[in-house]
């Protein structure tokens, strides 16, 4: 039995959910999100809640149960509050600047890196060493953050690079004489 899957996902006021054509669509104040439904899981949109149950007693259905409930919860949270990831840049001369639908990164290369911001994502730079990525789709926000971080991962000797806020960088000691 999945402890997470047993709990119903509450639908807050101002949010509507509907199942049509093998998709669960959720509409809220921030926008609309949809998710394909799994055949192994039974979804029920009730009065003020969405319940998720395994369709049969197979091992695969029980394995998907908790994950599918979490994906439904992410849809509800996305259309009501949205998701945000914060990246921090460490290093001399490393900086970021959001310019409309582009993010200009200076990361110690011979050229500036221009990152095109995808549709549905908003990027802000409160200062030149912080990048705030926000949107309604949790997977897309995480993917964009990972693609930006990939340009200069934090290195273990000086800690220079792009890291997530709160991420611990394992530091190594340098050479000794």
Domains of the chain in start order, with CATH, are: 3-80 (3.90.930.12), 83-164 (3.90.930.12)
Nearest to 29 by CA among 84, 81, 85: 81
Beta strands 49-54 and 9-10: pairing type?
antiparallel
DSSP 151: T
Report d(CA 98, CA 96) in Å as an integer.
7
- Report pLDDT digits (tens) over 77-106: 999 999 999 999 999 999 999 998 999 999
Report d(CA 88, CA 104) in Å as an integer.
15
Report d(CA 78, CA 33) in Å as an integer.
8
Residue 3 pLDDT: 83
Q: Are 135 and 83 in contact (CB under 8 A)?
A: yes
Question: Which is it for the CA torsion 165, 69, 72, 50, positive or negative?
Answer: negative
pLDDT band with cut points at 50, 70 and 90 for residue 26: very high
Report d(CA 67, CA 89) in Å as an integer.
33
Residue that wins the pLDDT comparison between 2 and 138: 138
Beta strands 83-90 and 49-54: pairing type?
unpaired
Q: Where are the alpha helices (DSSP H) in 33-173?
A: 59-80, 138-149
- Reply yes or no on whether the pLDDT at 133 is more than 80: yes
pLDDT band with cut points at 50, 70 and 90 for residue 1: low
pLDDT band with cut points at 50, 70 and 90 for residue 4: confident
Identify the three-state secondary structure at position 104.
strand
H or E element, residue 4: helix 3-6
């Amino acid at each position: 039995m999945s402890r997470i899957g047993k709990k119903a996902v509450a639908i807050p006021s101002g949010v509507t959910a509907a199942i049509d054509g093998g998709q669960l669509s959720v509409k809220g104040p921030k926008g609309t999100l949809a998710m394909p439904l799994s055949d192994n899981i039974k979804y029920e949109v009730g009065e003020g809640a969405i319940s998720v149950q395994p369709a049969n007693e197979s091992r695969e259905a029980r394995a998907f149960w908790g994950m599918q409930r979490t994906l439904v919860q992410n849809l509800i949270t996305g259309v009501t509050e949205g998701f945000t990831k914060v990246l921090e840049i460490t290093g001399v001369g490393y900086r970021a600047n959001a310019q409309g639908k582009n993010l200009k990164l200076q990361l110690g290369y011979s050229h500036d890196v221009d990152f095109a911001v995808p549709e549905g994502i908003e990027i802000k730079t409160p200062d030149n060493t912080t990048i705030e990525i926000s949107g309604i789709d949790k997977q897309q926000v995480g993917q964009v953050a990972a693609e930006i971080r990939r340009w200069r991962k934090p290195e273990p000797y000086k800690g220079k690079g792009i890291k997530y806020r709160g991420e611990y960088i394992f530091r190594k000691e340098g050479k000794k004489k």
